[in-house]
Chain A
Amino acid sequence: MPGNRTRKSWPPRRTAKPRPFRTTTATATLLALCAAATALTACSDTGESSSAGGNVVLRYTWWGNPDRAARTQEAVDLFQKKNPDIVVQTSFSGYDAYKQKLATQAAGGDAPDVMQLDYRMIDQYASGGVLLDLGKQQAVRTEEFDRGLLATGVVDGKQYAVPQARGTETVVYDTKAWESSGVEKPRKGWTWSDWADAMRALAERTGKPGATDPGQSEDAFEVWLRGQGKALYTKDRELGFTADDLTRWWTFTDKLRREGAVAPAEQTTQLDGTVENTPLGRGKSVSDFNWDAPSSGYVALVPTGVTLAPMPSGEDGTPGQYFKPSMFMGVAADSGHPEESAKLIDFMLNDREAAKILGATRGIPVNESIRTTLAPELKDFDKTVADYQASVDGTLNAPPQAPPSGDSALQTTFQRDYDQVSYERLSPREAAENYITEAKAELRS
C-alpha cells in the first residue's frame, strides 16, 4: 500500500538554507579564472603524436586480421629495436571500420603518421591534401619496385603512396568439404556458369550453401563485368556499365540464393570486411570470394584447411580477375615526424628481416629482389598465396586505373542495394536502377 511513506524521501530534499553571498567580485574573478584555466588546459591535449621521454612517437594504423596483427607487431618491434629513439604505436581494425575512422581522423587534421591505404583511397586522400609527397623523402627507397605498380601510388605527378604488395582475387574453399563432396574442383579458365553449377552441386551434396552470395560484392561484380570486356569505370571516371548489366548480375546471384546454392540474406547482411563474419569463416558455406592474402584469416577458422583457386572467367574465357596493388603505405601531410615515418615505411617495404617476418600477409611484396629471395623461403599460407599468384601470372588482363573518389562510398551502397534484393524487397531491376542513380550522383559530386 502506498500509505507507508517513510520520512527518508529519495532523492534527499534540500534542508540547509543557502548561504548568503559574501564573496567579493575580486575573489570571484580569481576563482572563475582558475576554473576556466583548468577547463582550457584539460582540453588542450589533442592526442597529437609528440615526444615522450625524448623519444619520437609515431602512430601507425592499418586494417587486417589477427594473423597480420601478430606479424606486423613483430616487424614493428624489430624496427624499434633498430631505432631505439622511435616508439611506434600501432592500431588496427576490420576494413569497414578502418575506412570510416581514417576518413574522420584525416578530416579532423589528426591523421596517423603512417597509414595503410587502399587503392580506392589514394585519389581522395591525395587530392584532399592529407598525404605527404614521398618522392621528397630520401628514406623511402623504391629502386627495386615494379615501375607499373609504383605508378599506382602517383597522383598528379607526385608519389603520395607506395604500394606494399600485389594481390588478386580468389575462390577460397574448404578443402575437405569440397573434395569429399565429389564435385569437380575449380580449374583454370572455368566460367561463371561452371561456377554456378558447382555451387548448386555443392549445396545439394554437402547440405551447405556453396559460397557467400557474391551479389553484395562490388569486387565480384567487377570480375564478372571484366569477364565480358567491360569495366566498373570508364577512363573519364564515369560508370562503365548500365542498369541492364547490373540487373543481369543481380538476377543471376538472386536466383542462386533462392535455390540455396549461395548463402541466405541473413548471412550476407553480416558481412563487414572481416573473414570472421563470412559464411565460410562461420562454418556455414563451402567457399568464398576474397583477395588472396587476407584469405590467410580462414586458416584459423576452417580446421580442415583451405585452398585457393582462380576466379571464374567470362563465358568466352575472358579473365576478369587482375593483379592489383593490394595496399599502400602513406604518411600524413601534417605529421610532425616525416623523416621517421619515411624510415618506418622503408623498413616495412625493404628490410629483409622485416620481409621475412611479414611474409605474404599483405600480399606478395612489390620489392623485386625481396620477392625473388623470399619466394623459396615462404612457408605455410604465404607459400599458398605465392604459388597461387604464380599459377595465374601471365594469364590475366591489365588492372583498371585507380577508381574515382566516389567509389569508396559506392562499395557500401552496392552492398545495401543488394540487401533490398536478397531480402526480396526490391526486384533486381529496381535495385539496379537505384544504384545507377546513386552512383551517378556520387561520381558527379
Chain B
Amino acid sequence: MTTTEIPAAARTGKPSTPPKRPGKRQREGAAWVFLSPWVLGAAVLTLLPMAVSLYLSFTDYDLFNPPQWVGLRNYTQMFTEDPRYWRSVVATLTYVVIAVPLQLGLALVVALALKSMRRGKGFYRSAFYAPSLLGASMSIALVWRAIFNDGGTVDNLLGTGGWVNKPGWALFTVALLTVWQFGAPMVIFLAGLQQIPTELYEAAAVDGASRWRQFLSITVPMLSPVIFFNLVLQTIQAFQVFTPAFAVSAGKGGPADSTLFYTLYLYDRGFVASHMGYASAMAWTLLLVIGAVTAVLFRTSRSWVFYASEGDR
C-alpha cells in the first residue's frame, strides 16, 4: 500500500479529508478565493503568453514590426527547407538518449549506496545533491567549458585537446554536465527505496536470494513507479536542455552544430535572427513532441510499472 503513495504524494501533497466539513458551497468559495492569486498568475503569466505564442507561430514577426499572418509557412519551412532544424532535432534526440539513462542509472546507484550507509548519510546526501542546485547556473556551465576547453584542466591532464571543440565529443561533454546533476532523481529514489518493506528483503534472505536477485526481484519492481516518475520528469527536462549548451558553445551550438539543441536553435531563431514567429512554431512543435513522448512512456509503463495495490487485488 505504502509504495503507491510516494509518487502520488510527491505530485499533489493532498491532505486527508478533515473530520468536520463546512457546507459545500462555503468550502468551494473559500477554495476559489485562496486559489485566486495562483489562477490569476497562471492566466496572465502562462495562458495568455501561450495563446500569444500560438498566434505568433502563424505569423512572421521580427520583434520590431507588427506580426504578418503567414498561415502554416513557418511549419512547412521548418520541416522541408531548414537543414539546421533537423540537425537540432538529431542533436536533441541523441542527447536525450545518452543523458537520461546515464543520469537515472547514476542516481539509482548512489541512492542505493546511500541507503545502506550507516554514518554520514546527511553529509553525503547534501554533497551529492549540491551539483543539482548549482548546476543549473550559468557559472558552473562556464567553469565546465573552461575545464574541457583546449588548454583547460582535462586537456592538461589527459592531453586529448579540448573536448568542447570536437564535434564528436562536445555533445558528450554537455551530457556529462547534466549527468553530474543527478541529485534530484537521487533524492526521489532514496525516498522510494526507504518505503520498500524490510520484510520482503528478510523473507528473500531466508530463502537464500542473492543481493543481485533481491535487487532485480524486489527493489526494481517495488521501485518501478518511482523509476517511471523520474524517467518522465528527466526526459521532459532533457528535451528542453538549454543552459549547458548555451554556455559551453558560447551560444552558437557549435562546433559544427553538434550541440545545437532544439531550444538553442529556437533561441537563435527568436533572439538572434529576430524570427519570433518561427521560434514560436518551433516551441509549439516541441510541446507536441514532448506530449507525444510522454504519452508513449505512459503507454509502455503499463507493462513494466508495478503498483503494489494492483497486486493486492
Contacts and interface: CB of A to CB of B under 8 A. Distances in A.
A373 interface: no
B256 A25 contact: no
Contact of A20 (B19, B214, B275): B19
B34 A28 contact: yes
Given A5-B198, A100-B271, A420-B256, A32 B62 contact: no
B182 to A, nearest CB: 17
Contact of A425 (B30, B165, B167): B167
Contacts of B84: 416
Contacts of A408: 274
Given A36-B40, A103-B274, A437-B81, 17 more contacts: A2-B196, A2-B219, A5-B194, A11-B191, A20-B18, A20-B20, A25-B26, A39-B37, A100-B251, A125-B64, A127-B65, A265-B255, A266-B165, A266-B255, A409-B272, A425-B256, A441-B77
A97 B20 contact: no
B271 to A, nearest CB: 5
Contacts of B19: 20
A183 B271 CA distance: 44
A46 interface: no
Contacts of B161: 266
A interface SS class: helix
B198 A3 contact: yes
B151 interface: yes
A362 B256 CA distance: 32
A5 to B, nearest CB: 5
Interface size class of A (residues with CB under 8 A): 35 or more
Contacts of A32: 33-34, 36-37
Which one of B15, B116, B165 has the highest number of Cβ atoms from chain A below 10 Å of its Cβ? B165
Given A106-B64, A127-B65, A442-B273, A10 B255 contact: no
Interface of A: 1-5, 9-11, 14, 17-21, 23, 25, 28-29, 31-32, 35-36, 39, 96-97, 99-100, 103-104, 106-107, 124-125, 127-130, 265-267, 269-270, 272, 277, 282, 405, 408-409, 412-413, 415-416, 419-420, 422-423, 425, 434, 437, 441-442, 445
B86 to A, nearest CB: 13
Nearest to A23: B30
Nearest to B125: A10
A266 B166 contact: yes
Contacts of A100: 251, 271-272
B254 A269 contact: yes
B311 interface: no
A56 to B, nearest CB: 27
Interface of B: 15-16, 18-20, 22, 26-27, 29-30, 33-34, 36-37, 40-41, 60, 62-65, 77, 81, 83-84, 115-116, 118, 149-151, 161-162, 165-167, 190-191, 193-196, 198, 201-202, 205, 214, 219, 250-257, 268, 271-276
A157 B302 CA distance: 68
Which one of A104, A408, A423 has the highest number of Cβ atoms from chain B below 10 Å of its Cβ? A423
A308 to B, nearest CB: 27
Contacts of B62: 124, 128, 405, 445
A106 B18 contact: no
B198 A18 contact: no
A104 B255 contact: no
Given A106-B63, A409-B274, A442-B273, A28 B30 contact: yes
Contacts of A97: 251
A2 B116 contact: yes
Given A32-B33, A128-B64, A266-B150, A416 B254 contact: yes
Contacts of A9: 194-195
A2 B166 contact: no
Contacts of A269: 165, 252, 254-256
Contacts of A434: 83
Contacts of B29: 25
11 contacts: A1-B116, A2-B201, A17-B16, A36-B40, A100-B251, A124-B62, A269-B256, A412-B252, A412-B272, A420-B256, A423-B256
Contact of B41 (A14, A39, A99, A104): A39
B18 A21 contact: yes
Contacts of B276: 107
A1 B271 contact: no
